Amino acid sequence: MNTFGGAPQALCAHDACDKAPTICRATDIPPELARLSAPPAARLSYNRCNLPAEALASLAFQLAPAELELDGVLPLHHALFEHLSVVGDATTRAQLFMQYMAAHFLLGDAAAQGLTEGARIDRSRLDYLRLLRGWLFDSEGREGAVLKGWVESRFGLLTGFHRAPLGDADCPARAAFERERAAGLYATGALEAQVDLLYAYAQYELARQPDARRHLTLYRGVSGRDTLAPLERLADGRLVVVLNNLSSFSASRERAGEFGDRVLECAVPAAKILAHSRLLPGRLQGEDEYLVIGGVAAVRRVD
3-class SS of residue 297: strand
- What are the angstrom distances between the C-alpha of 233 and each of 4, 90, 161, 238, 300? 15, 41, 23, 6, 10
Provide the pLDDT for residue 13.
34
Give 143's DSSP letter: H
Provide the pLDDT for residue 217.
97
Contact 226, 197 (CB under 8 A): no
Provide the pLDDT for residue 126.
84
Contact 121, 184 (CB under 8 A): no
Residues of the chain with pLDDT under 50: 1-26
Provide the pLDDT for residue 10.
30
- What are the angstrom distances between the C-alpha of 298 and each of 24, 51, 158, 163, 272? 9, 20, 19, 24, 15
Contacts of 188 (CB under 8 A, 6+ apart): 123, 124, 126, 127
Q: pLDDT for 133-187, tens place per residue?
A: 999 999 999 999 999 999 999 999 999 999 999 988 788 999 999 999 999 998 7
HSE of 120 in the Cβ direction (CA atoms, 13 Å)? Answer: 2
Chain Cα centroid distance, residue 70: 13
Provide the pLDDT for residue 230.
84
Provide the pLDDT for residue 1.
36
Contact 158, 42 (CB under 8 A): yes
Chain Cα centroid distance, residue 41: 20
Q: Can you say whether residue 295 is alpha, beta or left, with left for phi > 0 and alpha for psi between -120 and 50 degrees?
A: left
Residue ranges of domains in the chain: 26-69+214-301, 73-207
User: What is the percentage of the chain residues whose pLDDT exceeds 70?
Assistant: 83
pTM exceeds cut of 0.75:
yes
**Closest alpha carbon to 162 in 57, 244, 43:** 244
**Closest alpha carbon to 25 in 8, 37, 39:** 8
CA pair distance 172, 185, nearest whole angstrom: 20
Interhelix angle for 191-208 vs 172-185, to 10°? 90
CA pair distance 185, 62, nearest whole angstrom: 31
